[in-house]
Structure 1
Amino acid sequence: MDYIDRNYIWRENDKAVTPSKDLICMFCGNGQLITKEHIIPRWIFAKDTKAFFTITLNGLDQTYNKATIPACQQCNSDLLNDLERLIQNLFTNRDVSANPFEWEEIQEIIRWLELIDYKFQIYNITRRFKVSKEAGKIDYLMDFPLYMLLPNKDYTPFQVLSAIRRSLKRLSVAGKYDHVNSLVVFKTTNKGFHFFHTIDEFIFLELPQYQIAVFYFFKKEFSTVKEAFDEAMSIIKKVY
């Protein structure tokens, strides 16, 4: 957290400091053998290097393939890849309407979605505002991190750090028992990949190759999955 504050949030004379060229792993803090960890794994979008998501703030497209954050070789290979393979195996050849995910499987999916949220938070704090042809150049904003300018947030530097700490705390909780009703799993027959995400609030992924869609609330807890389903559907209808 000190590294993030010093390199991406701290300002001197109302100007951003120059980030260190020495990257560290955003999971363990190690500065050796740094690799690139994809925010959303390539298997999710069938390794399509042209697939993209749009940065709402300035209307710019960012390809999934290029959206990465620093991770050391050990974290990337031993920890993150193990979870990715587990999730991919859970999704493969699974008819979720006939064979719903079990209690422990749900917790692993939650852990995986919480990890994506954390990676997006790191991505947004380490990326500066960029010029959009439609929006034009805004000199004052050019050295601000994207995280502090998100349209659906009103974050001060302290609030940004607090949100990242919350995300790390969620990841550190081994048992996700209190949040199993916050995950909604759908069987989908749609042909297209869909994704939307609001940092620290919710995430939606629709994966046509597995006929599975998932919606997860990061902070909200529900008494029943039906309650979560109803709220998720109201959000999905607004976005679609």
Structure 2
Amino acid sequence: MATGRNHRPATRSRGIPEATVARLPLYLRALTALSERSVPTVSSEELASAAGVNSAKLRKDFSYLGSYGTRGVGYDVEYLVYQISRELGLTQDWPVVIVGIGNLGAALANYGGFASRGFRVAALIDADPSMTGKQVAGIAVQHVDDLETIIDTNGVSIGVITTPGGAAQQVCDRLVAAGVTSILNFAPTVLSVPDGVDVRKVDLSIELQILAFHEQRKAADALSGAAAPGPAAPAGDRGEQGPDGDIPAVMPA
């Protein structure tokens, strides 16, 4: 099986928009669930609903893959699973290193979904000498001093950073210098990388803040709905609405 170092996904070169690429894992998750239930075909409406998008957007996304459903039949589930997996580069082996084996790093190491999605945790790395040699998820933790050798030996092109924020940039620089070209960053900091290196940031605190905003909005809507409705404001006075009648979502300071 090919390793990830010399085999990058072909999505950008084929002109697939980044927004479409971001939705492909959602479609794949929904399709995998259908496949596990032995569902042979699915309509665009059913799949769009399962993935949380509208059907027109789904059909547009699939057109970039060269996949068109059959009218009255829909899409072949197994073929779509293969198509999307191929586009995402999941039909090959992607060795991954996790740097920073604290609570979060250990939790990721123990996550069972990597292997089934084309990823293999090749190494766990930490700066704490007391962690060296300890088994986490059946893998011995290695010291960060050996990072470059580990990257080269395992042909790693994807690194996961779960260190404290203050250490993340230095770890990132070493990963990039060693040949890593894609980084998933869980550290609470913004990383600076050269052209040709892709970074995806996962910030749990930001996601919680967004959820808090929506909870606040729902509570306000509930209070508003409980109040007696007053006279409707004239159309020209409804300044809070956007051009499409939407209320702009503004995050609290």
**Normalized against structure 2, the TM-score is what?**
0.22
Higher normalized contact order (CA 8 Å, seq sep 6+, divided by chain length): 1
